[in-house]
Structure 1
Amino acid sequence: MRAAIAAAPYPTALLPNNDARAERCLATLGITVRSWLGALTRHSGGLLVDHGWLRVNGGGTDTLPDVTTVADPATRTLVIAHDVLGGQFAWRPAQPAEAPTVHYFGPDDLGWQDLGTGYADWLGAVLAGSLTRFYESLRWPGWEDEVSALQPNQGIHTWPPPWSVEGQNLATASRTPIPIDQLVAFHHETARQLDQP
């Protein structure tokens, strides 16, 4: 994993870990460091990828939750990452008896999409450069400087929002830093009101 991080085509930072907290996370997850999720959880507080656009949850820090903090045991869901616009990546089964795959909740369509890949393959693709194409329609000129200036617990609220017709061009939208949990909650509440699945 360290080799993949070092070879990433965009700036990627491995956050320092807290040993005791990381061990508790591993015990809660019931996994070992032989998996990519286990290794990231045990050996880092998390990962900031592509100037901090994507924040991958690991063992947790003061400004980034650990991967077990945002888990939903009832649905076997782990929120493994979030992006600066309030999108979320979750590792969960598409059906109750199936193996988990990575799903993405997008701030531009307010729906969950099954990416059809496991955790290690997803993170490997992220570190190999997949974010550039994945987020192509959600970026604006100079986004790198805006995003790099944020803390991991901050996101960028855009108005009009990216899920609206008026908000499709984020270069002309108003952009304001706000706490990421508020931004995520705003998108999910809007999806609920619009009866999105």
Structure 2
Amino acid sequence: MKQIFRTLILFSLTIFSPAVFAQNKMQSLEELINNTDPAWPLVQKWIGSAKNKVEVLAPDSAKAKDALYNMQVSTYSTLGSIIYNTGGIMVDNGWLRILGSGSTRLKRNVPEWNKGKTIQEYGDKPGYLLVADDAAGGFFAINYGALGSDLKNIYYLAPNSLNWEPLNAGYGEFILFCFDSDLSAFYKGLRWASWDQFIANLDGSKSYSFRPYLWSEEGKDIDKCTRKLVPTDDLYKFNIVKQKELKAAVKE
């Protein structure tokens, strides 16, 4: 997985501004909406030339403003532009879900999804920020110090290892990866033979849980596992608990 990211980006990305979180007070919505040099036009170009199937979910204006304000990130950044201009983005018929400001198909937005997980209150500085996930129960996050020394890079909580794997790419590069890369290669071993028949109408707030667990020795072959749709929220919390248990067992 890591090697795919290392070779994917063939040019330098200079427009991206890291998410700027509140220091002492919440910035106003007017301060966060950048009308001079927003990132959204560039993201639109990526969408227009995407190699993978990309569906931009329409945002609700009021919810988009609330999400942007609660996240305290400028639309100058790629993250802020996606929160403000989309209800979320579905890639590969919804296999991969990039969070925005929420919609009927993806009833989660970035700040709300992180509250109670990586932050306690809006405006808090997270150790990492959950920004996307997939139907196989994997989660993508921007690292703000809790996952490694490579700040602002994306990590993947892989369902077949329960480890946070560094992808050696920032958020903007990650979005390009979602749009243009060979996702079948990235997800090798995490897609069962008929996966594409189950994804098109998948609720964006649900993910598949597998038995045996994919991270267990018995769960190495996903085609031999049974699967069940569960709330993505429940699966994330379960995986974090199991991750801690596995790390504690290794130390013993």
2:234 counterpart of 1:194: no
Question: Given the alignment, which residue of 78, 82, 92 partners 1:36?
Answer: 78
Return the letter of the residue paired with 1:118.
Answer: G
Structure 1 residue 74, shift from structure 2 partner: 4.7
* Counterpart for residue 85 of structure 1: 136
Give, in whole Å, the separation in 2 of the partners of 1:156 and 1:7: 30
Q: Runs ≥4 in structure 1, deviation > 4 angstroms?
A: 95-98
Q: Point out where structure 1 has 5 or more consecutive residues left out of the alignment.
A: none
Give the strand-richer structure, 1 or 2.
1
Residue type of the alignment partner of 2:52: Y
Q: What per-residue deviation string (whole Å, max 9, x for no partner) do you get for residues 70-116 of structure 1?
A: 33235342200011122111112246986411111111101112222
Return the TM-score normalized by structure 2.
0.71
Which segment is superposed worse, 33-42 or 21-30? 21-30
SS state at 1:31 partner: coil
Structure 2: distance between partners of 1:159 and 1:23? 40
Query: Aligned partners of 1:172, 1:5: CA distance in 2, in Å?
Result: 36
Partner of 2:108: 65
Q: Within 5 A, what are the aligned runs for 1:116-155?
A: 116-155=168-207
Paired position in structure 2 for 1:167: 219
What is the SS of the residue equivalent to 1:86? Answer: coil
Once the two structures are TM-superposed, the CA of residue 131 in structure 1 deviates from its matched residue by: 2.3
Contact 1:101–1:114 (8 Å) recurs in 2: yes
Task: Answer yes or no: is the 8 Å Cα contact 2:128–2:143 preserved in 1.
Answer: yes
> How far is the alpha carbon of 1:53 from its aligned partner?
1.1
Matched residues, number = 197
Distance 1:75 1:30 in 2: 12
Which structure has the greater CA radius of gyration? 2
TM-score, normalization by structure 1: 0.90
User: Paired residue for 1:8, among 50, 54, 77?
Assistant: 50
| C-alpha contact (below 8 Å) 1:94/1:114 kept by paired residues | no
> What are the superposed Cα offsets for residues 14-48 of structure 1, whole Å, 9 maximum, x if unpaired?
11111112112222333332221111111111011
Per-residue CA distance 1:51-85 (angstroms, 9 max, x = gap): 21111111112443111113323534220001112
Quick one: distance in 2 between partners of 1:116 and 1:97?
11
Give, in whole Å, the separation in 2 of the partners of 1:178 and 1:97. Answer: 33
Q: Distance in 1 between matches of 2:172 and 2:182?
A: 14
Q: CA RMSD in A?
A: 2.1
Distance 2:149 2:197 in 1: 43
- Secondary structure at the counterpart of residue 32 of structure 1: coil
Q: CA shift at 1:125, angstroms? A: 1.5
Task: Point out the more displaced range, 91-100 or 52-61.
Answer: 91-100
Aligned mates of 1:83, 1:160 — CA distance in 2: 19
Q: Secondary structure at the match of 1:47?
A: strand
Q: Secondary structure at the match of 2:110?
A: coil
Give, in whole Å, the separation in 2 of the partners of 1:109 and 1:162: 7
Match of 2:97 in 1: 55
Give the Cα–Cα distance (whole angstroms) in 2 for the partners of residues 104 and 77 of structure 1: 11
